[in-house]
Amino acid sequence: MKFVILLFLVTAFPFTYFSQSTNCQDFRTGTFKKMDEDGPGSVIKRTEKYQIEKNKANGTKIKLSVEWIDDCTYTLKFIKGNSKWKKQHYPNPDKVLIVKIVETGSDYYALVAKFKGVDDFSYRSKFKVLK
């Protein structure tokens, strides 16, 4: 009997593992909330062309253009930000942010981001799917 159970687990495990993988395509558009914040944190609304980020806690808002490089990598370019965002963030809005989705789940994704041409900065975060 133990052999039958072991055989079932060995043959069933690969199918359950691969059936749960999520494609980065699932996160190209939608509404997402930053998971590493408590309370009313950053919410992202992404369309095919734009990304709007709002943070209710500190009142910042920014609009960026989105360009997908491959299935899991895209760039963000600054379009505009409100006055609160301008006071708190990187002073050079001409920098391009390269974002790579490095992990996905059924209702979240994790990313690593860095500015193009800047090797001493890297940003990691997880986002939960809201819509």
What's the pLDDT tens digit per position in 8-21? 444 444 444 444 45
Instruction: Using DSSP, state whether 21 is helix, strand or coil.
Output: coil
Residues paired with 128 in a beta bridge: 33, 108
Torsion angle in degrees (nearest 10) through CA of 23, 27, 28, 34? -150
Q: What is the DSSP string of 34-90?
A: ETT-SSS-EEEEE-SSEEEEEETTTTEEEEEEEEE-SSSEEEEEEEEE-HHHHHHS-
pLDDT digits (tens, 9 = 90+) for 10-49: 444 444 444 445 589 999 999 999 987 666 679 999 999 9
Report domain extents, the chain.
23-129
Dist CA 30 CA 63 (whole Å): 15
Answer yes or no: pTM beyond 0.85: no
